[in-house]
Amino acid sequence: MSEALEKAREWEKMHCRTAVEKPFFHVCAPTGWINDPNGFSQYKGEYHLFYQYHPYNKHWGPMHWGHSKTDDFIKWLQMPCAMAPDEAFDGQGCFSGSAVEFQGKHVLMYTGVTQKEKDGKIVINQNQCIAFGDGKDYIKYPYNPVITAQQMPQGSSKEDFRDPKIWKDNDKFYTIIGSRGEDGSGQLGLFESEDIVNWKFVTILERCENRYGKMWECPDFFEIGDTAVIIVSPQEMQAEGLEFHNGGGTLALVGNYNKKEHLFQRKKVTAVDYGLDFYAPQTLKSEDGRRIMIGWMQNWDTYLVPENMTWSGIMTIPRQLEIRDGSLYQNPVRELENYYSNEVKIGKVRLEGERSFEGINGRSIDLTVEIYEDGKSEFSIRFASNEYFYSEIIYSPEKEILTFDRTYSGLVKDVISRRSMKVKKREGRIKVRLLLDRYTVEIFVNDGEQAMSSLIYTSLDAEKIMFYGDGSVISILKYDVVL
């Protein structure tokens, strides 16, 4: 073990946050800072999640790989730091990547960052490296990097070449890697290997062509049935209506894939999540065949973490992905139901003004509200509420727009607090599912047709939930989530 990795592990032992501070069923930083999920994979019957990690303070710094594992996607065990930037090929950072099992080993594939001075300027290079491990300890391949930017087509960036997603198909391994092309915008390079250490360039699988942001980070590629999906996180997006917002977003490119020709045919491009805090998701295939996705629940441009907190960074609930009518649907993994308690059901009731219901409150709950009839004006749910603070979901039946607003959640900085999305009625109604876990707010509309993820750092004693409507007819189903 290197001195840098040993130092990180010792720091974790001394500074790991207490259970009182953390969410109940969401992965969060053990100490310091975390961002992108990495290496989300199955190995020897357990599911592993790594993440970009700076253990020494709650801001981005030299990137390590933090590590957690689970057997049900809900209860997570904190593992020791897996990698530190401690080699000549990754001395400026072990950036994002993925993982796969091979010959009994857990193989991590990641971006190693190096820099040197040339002609008075700092030159940064990003190349792909691997490490072999046993689920706890990992040894970096001595002949790293295994893929270099020089293998990409002429004109491709040497600095922006990162975030490999690896998978196995029949007897070959494949990886897609985010890059910038000659036009300065995002492209995805596809590589293949028979032995996981020797790789050759295959093709450019997809290109941005300056249509959706610039650099495409953290790509993922998978198939659900006959449908192929590429997920990317573009930088420098510009807003388009309510579908795409400014800054760093996440897109799903849905289409078909010809494996023989390595040709992806794009049919649809949509946002993956419409919330204020969602980026860089990664997926795995579960033991029972489900495609499971987890994302980083934060926004690069909006930093909300209170001064008194010693850590920064939370992941979303793992979500089951499905394709329905050519669109990507997502819902919390069904294992969450094993932790339900205190069911409360409210049959159809007409709202006339403000209303609360006995047993419907809390900050660790799964709450579903169905809106059957349009009222005369907007319908809203206020939650994480007390006499001073609240966050709010607002539904406009006339405009068919759903909005999340955390303006009054206790923020003391002028940050983005409100975001909206267009929703569709299904058989004259909409269904809104609200999943709360202390600081996290995840909204799923119409059985997963759309999702909206955001953070709130409201005082944890704010637990009230209020419903507002002028003629709206609703029903409610609520569970506490207890671990």
Residues classed as catalytic: 36
Q: Is 295 exposed, middle or buried (0-12, 13-18, 19+ CB in 10 A)?
A: buried
The angle formed by the CA atoms of residues 405, 407 and 413, to the nearest 5 degrees, is 135
Return d(Cα 324, Cα 480) in angstroms, integer: 29
Q: Is 135 exposed, middle or buried (0-12, 13-18, 19+ CB in 10 A)?
A: middle
The per-residue b/e assignment along 436-452, b for 16 or more CB within 10 angstroms, e otherwise, is bbbbbbbbbbbebbbbb
Listed in sequence order, the DSSP H helices in 188-338 are: none
**Residue type at 206?**
E
The angle formed by the CA atoms of residues 40, 43 and 47, to the nearest 5 degrees, is 45
103 alpha carbon, distance to own chain's centre: 29
End-to-end CA distance of the chain: 35
What is the gyration radius of the CA atoms in the chain, in angstroms? 22
CB 363 within 8 A of CB 463: yes
Q: Which two tokens stand for residue 480?
A: 């506490």
Return d(Cα 275, Cα 316) in angstroms, integer: 12
Q: Residue 417: which of 280, 308, 302 has the closest Cα?
A: 302
CB 363 within 8 A of CB 437: yes
